[in-house]
Homo-oligomer: A and B are copies of this chain.
Amino acid sequence: MKDVQKTKDTRNVDIQKVGIKNLDLPLMIERKDKHGKVVGATARVCVSLPKDYKGTHMSRFVEVLNEWQHKHLLGDDIKGCLEKIIESLDAQSGELEFNFKYFIEKFAPVTKLPSQMCYACSFEGRIYDGQYKFILGVTVPVTTLCPCSKEISDNGAHNQRAFIKVRVSYDEGNHIWIEDLIEMIESCASCPLYPLLKREDEKFVTEKAWENPRFVEDVLREVVVKLRENEIIKEFEVDCEAIESIHNHSAWAYQHEIK
C-alpha cells in the first residue's frame, strides 16, 4: 500500500507543527499523597516536518500516547513520552500537552467538612533544538472583592468568582506538586472557594473576603511576588479574570516573566 505521506513535497515549506488535537485519553497521574489517580485528559501533540515530506504519520502519535497512559505521570516526566514521539516520527522538535480536571480534597474553613474541589490543570512539554522545557498549568477559581466598591459604598462591596490561571516552568530535577501550587495561588485572592460550606463556613468566607479586598491587579501582584520568590521557577505566566458581578464583562490582568 502506497505511503502517500512519504512522497516528495516541492513547495519548500518546513512545517513547524503538525499533529493532532482534542484527543481524549485516560491518564494515570501521581498525586502528592503518592496515590495514582486516573484522569480523563485531552491531548495536543505535534512535531516538525521537513519540507521534503508531504505528510506526517498521524497514527503514531496515538500509538505512543497509548503506551504512556498507564505511567504514574508527575508532569515534568512527560519528556520521555515526547522524546519517543519525536523519535517515532523521525522529527527534530515537538510539543505535547495534556489538559485535565484534577480533584483535591478541601476542608470547609470552620466545620472542617471535606469535599472534592476540581481544578483544570495541564502538563506541557516542548523540545526545540534538543532542549526540553516543561510547563505546569493550573486554573484556580477564587473570590475577589472590589476595594473601590468597599471604600465608596455605605454598605457591602461587589464581589465575584475569578479565575487565576498560572503556568510555571522549572528545570529537570526539580518538581512542583499541583497541590502546592494551587494552595499558594488561593492564598493570593480575597478568599478561596469550597464545594461545601455550612452556615458557619459561609459567615467565615464572607467576612474573610470583606477583610481582604482585591482588584485583579492586586491578585496578579500577590501571585507574581510569590512566583518571583520561588527559586525553582524559571518562567511564569499569570492570567487573572474576574467575572464581574456588576458588569457583563470581565476585569482582567496578565503577566509573563522570565527570570
How many residues on A have C-beta within 8 angstroms of the other chain's C-beta atoms?
A: 104
Answer whether residue A46 sits at the interface, using C-beta atoms and an 8 A cutoff. Answer: yes
CA distance A62 to B9 in the complex (A): 40
Give the distance in Å from the alpha carbon of A209 to the alpha carbon of B19 in the complex. 22
Query: In the complex, which of the residues B59, B143, B244 contacts A196, with contact meaning CB atoms closer than 8 Å?
Result: B59
A interface list, Cβ under 8 A from B? 1-5, 9, 11-13, 15-26, 37-40, 44, 46, 49, 54-56, 58-59, 62-63, 66, 69, 101, 103, 113-118, 141, 143, 145, 147-161, 191, 193-200, 202-203, 205-207, 209-211, 215-218, 220-222, 224-225, 241, 243-256
Specify which chain B residues have a CB less than 8 angstroms from the CB of A209 in the assembled complex. 156, 158, 245
Residues of B within 8 A of A152 (CB): 1-2, 4, 199, 202-203, 206
By a CB distance below 8 angstroms, the chain B residues around A66 are 114-116, 196
Residue from B13, B21, B117 in contact with A221 in the complex, judged by beta carbons closer than 8 Å: B13
Once the chains bind, are A251 and B196 in contact (CB under 8 Å)?
A: no
Q: How many copies does the complex hold?
A: 4
Please tell me if the beta carbons of B253 and A17 are within 8 angstroms of each other in the complex: yes
Query: Is there an interface contact between B54 and A199, defined as CB atoms closer than 8 Å?
Result: no
Partner of A115, one of B13, B39, B62, B200: B62
A40 contact from B40, B150, B203, B254, Cβ within 8 A = B40
Chain B residues within an 8 Å CB radius of A154: 203, 207
B20 close to A250 (CB less than 8 A): yes
Contact B118 A143 (CB under 8 A): no
A143 adjacent to B195 (CB under 8 Å) = no
Please give the distance in Å from A245's CB to the nearest CB on chain B.
5
Q: Are B217 and A15 in contact (CB under 8 A)?
A: yes
B113 touches A19 (CB 8 A): no
The answer to whether B247 touches A194, judged by C-beta atoms less than 8 angstroms apart, is yes
Measured between C-beta atoms, what is the minimum distance from A22 to chain B in Å?
5
Q: How far is the CB of A222 from chain B (nearest CB, A)?
A: 8
Note all chain B residues with C-beta closer than 8 A to A251: 19-21, 58
Q: A148-B199, A153-B203, A197-B59 are in contact. Are A217 and B2 (CB under 8 A)?
A: no
Complex interface: chain B residues within 8 A of A207 (CB): 153-156
